[in-house]
Amino acid sequence: MISHGNSYGDNDGDNTLAAPSEPEVTGSHVVVFTEGGNRTDAAQTLREVAGLSGVARSTEFESSAMDLSATEDADAVVFDELGIAVVTADPDQLAALRAAAATDSPVLSIEPELMHYALSIGTDPRVEAEAASFGDTAELTWGLQATKVTTSACSGFGVKVAVLDTGLDLTHPDFEGRAITAQSFVPGAGPQDGHSHGTHCVGTACGPKSPSGTRRYGVAHKADIFVGKVLSDQGRGADRSILAGIEWAIVNGCQVISMSLGANVEAVSVAYETVGSRALASGSLIVAAAGNNANRAAGNMGFVGPPANSPSIMAVAAVDGALGLANFSARSNPVIGGQIDVAGPGVGVFSTVPVPTRYGSKSGTSMATPHVAGIAALWCEATGRTGTDLWAVLTQQARRLMLPSLDVGSGLIQAPA
Q: CA 338 → CA 39, 312, 315, 341, 398, distances in Å? A: 27, 11, 8, 9, 19
Residue 318 near residue 326 (C-beta atoms within 8 A): yes
Q: Parallel, antiparallel, or unpaired: how do β-strands 342-345 and 314-319 relate?
A: parallel
120 is an active site residue? no
Q: Are 367 and 346 contacting, i.e. CB atoms less than 8 angstroms apart?
A: yes
Interatomic CA distance for residues 108 and 414, integer angstroms: 38
43 phi, psi to nearest 5 deg: -60, -45
Q: Which of 366, 371, 407, 410 is catalytic?
A: 366
Kindly name the residue from 75, 80, 136, 165 that is annotated as catalytic: 165
Given 197, 200, 221, 371, the catalytic residue: 197
Sign of CA dihedral 128, 129, 133, 138: positive
Q: DSSP class of residue 363?
A: B
Nearest CA-CA partner of 197 in 121, 140, 110:
121
The distance from CA 218 to its chain's CA centroid, rounded to whole angstroms, is 17
Are 359 and 333 in contact, with CB atoms under 8 Å apart? no
The reply to whether 277 belongs to the active site is no
3-class state of residue 111 by DSSP: strand
Concerning whether 233 is annotated as a catalytic residue, the answer is no
| Sheet of 180-184, strands arranged across | 180-184, 224-229, 160-165, 256-259, 285-289, 314-319, 342-345
Q: Are 338 and 266 in contact (CB under 8 A)?
A: yes
Tell me whether the omega of the peptide bond preceding residue 307 falls within 30 degrees of 0, making it cis: yes
Compute the radius of gyration of the chain from its Cα atoms. Answer: 20
Q: Cα–Cα distance between 138 and 227 in angstroms, integer? A: 28
Element (H, E) at 349: strand 349-352
Which residues are marked as active site? 165, 197, 366
